Structure 1
Amino acid sequence: MVTTPTGSKRKPVLRRNPAATATNGTGAVTAKTGPATEKPARKTAAAKPAKPPSLIERFLVFLEGSGRSATGSSYYTILGATLALTAIGLMMVLSASSVESIAAAAGSDAGAATTFDLFLKQSMFAAAGVVAMLGLSRLGPPHYRFLSWFLYGVAVILLILVLVIGKEVNGNKNWIEIGPITGQPSEAAKLAMAIWFAAVLSRKGRLINEWKHALIPVVPGGGILIVLVMLGSDLGTVIVMGMIMVAALFFAGAPLRFLGVLAAGAAVGAVLMSLVSSNRSSRISAWLQLDCSTGLCDQANAGMYALASGGWLGVGIGQSRQKWNWIPEAHNDFIFAIIGEEFGLLGTLVVVSLFAVLAIATVRVTMRHTDPFIRIVCGAILVWIIGQAFVNIAMVTGLLPVIGVPLPFISYGGSSLTFTLAAVGVLLSFARKIPESEPTAP
């Protein structure tokens, strides 16, 4: 008898599945393919299919640009949209101001030398703005934080000088004239506000949820700039500056109830300013078609006629009829009406689309950064440019009363164009270096 030695371990016997073996012609056993030793695994519950993202989630991913290049795309999108809008603006200033330039040339000794006067001035400011834009795009957040209080102080000084030595145009005292150059310090104040608000609010952290930290020193400090502009009777600029303040608080994370109270107070203030001024109250009456006997509705009606006569494709560049002294300030506040007349609905949609592209690219930059300073600056500049464009287009199309707000990049105005391009330079400085998005798990 053969016995197994004590303490020895048997080798495990490999059981073969009868179905896994077969005999060949010689009687040798051959193995079939497939596992021979393992029992069939138990059936597991089928994994539930992943829930498709909602429309809101897809829209947020689209805005954020997830899966796309972290650098380059937003930078060149912002730059391209800005340069395209600026080029359209120069072309339309040349077209819309040609009648006034020719009339001025006929009554001056310079003759043809002043025919393109407004266009040449706007071109020089555009060149200066592009240089400022490219220069500011090379700076970084530490530079802007360092300059924030300096820019705020300069803005206060310039706005005080406007009240002392400023020039009044159409009832608004908002210009400083130095030799042949006339500028609006309030345009510089908009950029200073955006940077100063960000520098102050980015230090608050979670304290932003308390009303005293959310509103102080932003509301008193911004209120000083707004009151200085208000003393010059420029309600349109005051509204835009108020939008910048609310946007900065929103992107800083202030509670919505604080923003609601602030917005309601601003609305009440705007109504009171309109009621105490005969000029503003008459504009509201004209907007509501309550009093058109003295020609108060002529500008708005001529703007609507220009948009209507443009049709789908327009009457052609330079062929506008409403710019022949039918629309006052055709090259300024109502330049969008000239675009609609000469290029039709298609031309207006191109302009609106470029502003939309600029807005989407800016939102992408804002969402990809985690630094609160950058997010607040980008949000404030975004609301400034896009909000002002909305107000101007709504004013031309009759949705809002005429309040004298220019169309960014396009309306005539050297200081407005220069500082709007400078604000885009700040956006470009943050778009140049965007943090890489975290890789998602497969």
Structure 2
Amino acid sequence: MDKRRPRVPASPEQRRPRLHAVEDQEPEHTEPHPAGLTPTSPRQQTRPSQRAARGEHSTVRTAAGAARTTPESARTAPETTRTTPGAGADGSAGRSWKAQRETTRKDRVQRFWHFVEEGNPYTTFWLLLGSALALTIFGLVMVLSATAVEAVGTPDGAYGVFMRQAMWAGIGLVGMFSVAFMPRGWLKKLAWPAMVLAIIGLALVLTPLGYEVQGNRNWIRIGPLNGQPSELAKLALCLWTGLVLARKGHKVRELQHTIVPVLMPGAALVFAFIMWGRDLGTALIFGFFLAAMLFVSGTKARYFLVAGATGIIGAVALALMSPNRTVRIQAWLGLNDACSLPQDFCYQSEQGLYALASGGFWGVGLGQSRQKWNYIPEAENDFIFTILGEELGLLGALTVLLLFATLALGMFRVASRSTETWVKITTVGIMAWVIGQTFINLAMVTGLLPVIGVPLPFISAGGSALTSNLVAVGVVMNFAQAQRVDARSRAGTRPSKPTGRNQAGKKTGKKAGMTSRRKPATV
């Protein structure tokens, strides 16, 4: 049995002389201790700077009682300076947290631009394809939801409009993939014939084949098929204008080369036929992407000022000359005269805002819209975004906007990375057309612009519009595919299929550590 007495801890009075003895040995090293730190050995009484030089750490008890080990240099730093880890005792060697946050933000922006300009060229093709397919699927679902109620009593049934839209989507997808993988030289050869066919189609609107819808005469009917030639003219004008401006090169900075033949007679004929049909919304889109293409080609800025002023004066004059457009502008301005008419031009915009407001964040549910029950005129066309916002809520609306942003990012990557002038100008024109039309439609349904009859790309019902949008994306995909091939040729190698045999003719396998041989690419 162990008869030794248990060890009793020393009292504070017994420890005090011992502490004084340590302080008497090194009085010049004594410093006030931080709150909550109690020295237990002579080593803790050494100068903090000496301990920091030796790389030692001290343990500090926090208010919660947890031990926190920090370098001595960080303990002795001024409390008023918030420094980053590794900063000096006076804070001069470190950076403040605001500077670090600003640097982090700049790094993110630099990484984003590096992805846009120097990222993997294979990504661009899939960005374009994925966003276009997703938007098309969104459009088919929303067309079915918006038209099923009103189409029940029609001869085609509840799914008639949806089936026609799905048929045109299939035609557009076939056209998109066909254009995406055709030789790039064919697109140049098709530019002039496409422009001629577009002008002929616009001229047919003025013949007995054309008919009027909602005050705009921009439709033609040939047998069981009907469509808008102006939608196909958008793509034709993009291809033709890009080719002409690229061939002119630096001469486009001169006024005569800017006017002939891009503006006169090319764009002038297109604008004349469109305005003859009183389609002001389509004319605005044509003017927007045409100005973007001229800007990228290097046209002088003062020409845009003159053309912009002329365009604004002409648009105002055309709006005042048409009673229908005048009343719509009055309804947009909120004048009581327009809203009190029997037609009630404020009704469509008000019902659209009601639909967006009732959707909330999550929406009322797919197919559960109340405003599509004959409350919103043309719910499946120009105002389909309001049905989308009501059924899918803010979350669904933001998802669609994110898909459009992804599509714009892919097009911008193609334009910024291209070394061929024709590719750059044409891509900018298509991007300005699709994204500009999207913004105009969203501004129209939210009340920021008057109702001018502009559909939402890929989403609104309409076979000719959907087909032209998909084929336009196919053109940009063709350019992205060419950039992939160029990047592969610059690398000088292309992965070949493994043959399973080495140069001696013997079979090889993964265990032998053999890799596939590479051979020069042939483009």
Of 68, 83, 98, the residue aligned with 2:119 is 68
Give the drift of 1:341.
0.4
In structure 2, the residue matched to 1:154 is 197
Are residues 1:96 and 2:146 paired? yes
> 4+ runs of 1 displaced by more than 3 Å?
52-61, 435-439
Of 246, 271, 292, the residue aligned with 1:247 is 292
Partner SS for 2:482: coil
Are residues 1:183 and 2:227 paired? yes
Q: Quote the Cα distance in structure 1 between the aligned partners of 2:281 and 2:230.
A: 11
In structure 1, the residue matched to 2:350 is 301
Give the drift of 1:62.
2.0
Are residues 1:259 and 2:325 paired? no
Q: Quote the Cα distance in structure 2 between the aligned partners of 1:309 and 1:61.
A: 36
Runs of 5+ consecutive residues of structure 2 not aligned to the other structure: 1-102, 492-523
Give the drift of 1:409.
0.2
Q: Quote the Cα distance in structure 1 between the aligned partners of 2:300 and 2:288.
A: 16
Of 209, 218, 225, the residue aligned with 2:262 is 218
Q: Quote the Cα distance in structure 2 between the aligned partners of 1:58 and 1:388.
A: 27
Aligned length: 380
* 2:217–2:279 Cα contact (<8 Å) kept: yes
Are residues 1:207 and 2:251 paired? yes
Partner SS for 2:217: strand
Give the drift of 1:263.
2.2
* 1:388–1:405 Cα contact (<8 Å) kept: yes
Show CA shifts across 1:119-156 (max 9, x none).
Answer: 00000000000000000011243212211111111111
Give the drift of 1:67.
4.2
Show CA shifts across 1:197-220 (max 9, x none).
Answer: 011000111112111112221111
Of 213, 221, 227, the residue aligned with 1:169 is 213
Partner SS for 2:375: coil
Give the drift of 1:373.
0.2
Of 380, 384, 390, the residue aligned with 1:335 is 384
* 1:133–1:422 Cα contact (<8 Å) kept: yes
Q: Quote the Cα distance in structure 1 between the aligned partners of 2:185 and 2:160.
A: 40
Query: RCO higher in 1 or 2 (8 Å CA, sep ≥ 6)?
Result: 1
In structure 1, the residue matched to 2:517 is none
In structure 2, the residue matched to 1:83 is 133
* Alpha-carbon distance change, 280 to 55 in structure 1, aligned in 2, over 3 angstroms: farther
Letter aligned with residue 279 of structure 1:
N
Give the drift of 1:103.
3.2
Q: Quote the Cα distance in structure 1 between the aligned partners of 2:262 and 2:115.
A: 29
* Alpha-carbon distance change, 59 to 244 in structure 1, aligned in 2, over 3 angstroms: farther
Partner SS for 2:219: strand
Give the drift of 1:244.
2.0
In structure 1, the residue matched to 2:339 is 292
Matches within 5 A, 1:299-378: 299-378=348-427
* Alpha-carbon distance change, 274 to 87 in structure 1, aligned in 2, over 3 angstroms: same
Letter aligned with residue 125 of structure 1:
W
Show CA shifts across 1:66-117 (max 9, x none).
Answer: 44222x200010000000000000000000011210132xxx4xxxx52110
* 2:147–2:158 Cα contact (<8 Å) kept: no
Runs of 5+ consecutive residues of structure 1 not aligned to the other structure: 1-51
Q: Quote the Cα distance in structure 1 between the aligned partners of 2:108 and 2:360.
A: 38
Q: Quote the Cα distance in structure 2 between the aligned partners of 1:365 and 1:132.
A: 20
Q: Quote the Cα distance in structure 2 between the aligned partners of 1:263 and 1:74.
A: 33
Q: Considering only aligned residues, what root-mean-square deviation do their CA atoms show, in Å?
A: 2.0
Q: Quote the Cα distance in structure 1 between the aligned partners of 2:432 and 2:267.
A: 16
Give the drift of 1:60.
9.2
Q: Quote the Cα distance in structure 2 between the aligned partners of 1:436 and 1:65.
A: 15
Higher mean alpha-carbon deviation, 427-436 vs 318-327, is at: 427-436
* Alpha-carbon distance change, 103 to 56 in structure 1, aligned in 2, over 3 angstroms: farther
Letter aligned with residue 300 of structure 1:
S
* 2:117–2:416 Cα contact (<8 Å) kept: no
Are residues 1:275 and 2:275 paired? no
TM-score, normalising length: structure 1: 0.83
Partner SS for 2:205: helix
Q: Quote the Cα distance in structure 1 between the aligned partners of 2:185 and 2:413.
A: 21
Partner SS for 1:427: helix
TM-score, normalising length: structure 2: 0.70
Q: Quote the Cα distance in structure 2 between the aligned partners of 1:189 and 1:145.
A: 16
Letter aligned with residue 184 of structure 2:
P
Give the drift of 1:63.
7.0
Letter aligned with residue 233 of structure 1:
R
Of 181, 186, 189, the residue aligned with 1:143 is 186
Q: Quote the Cα distance in structure 1 between the aligned partners of 2:116 and 2:463.
A: 34
Of 235, 238, 242, the residue aligned with 2:283 is 238
Q: Quote the Cα distance in structure 1 between the aligned partners of 2:382 and 2:117.
A: 38
In structure 2, the residue matched to 1:12 is none
Show CA shifts across 1:155-184 (max 9, x none).
Answer: 111111111121111111111112221111
Letter aligned with residue 159 of structure 2:
F
* 1:195–1:377 Cα contact (<8 Å) kept: yes
Higher mean alpha-carbon deviation, 379-388 vs 176-185, is at: 176-185
Letter aligned with residue 135 of structure 1:
S
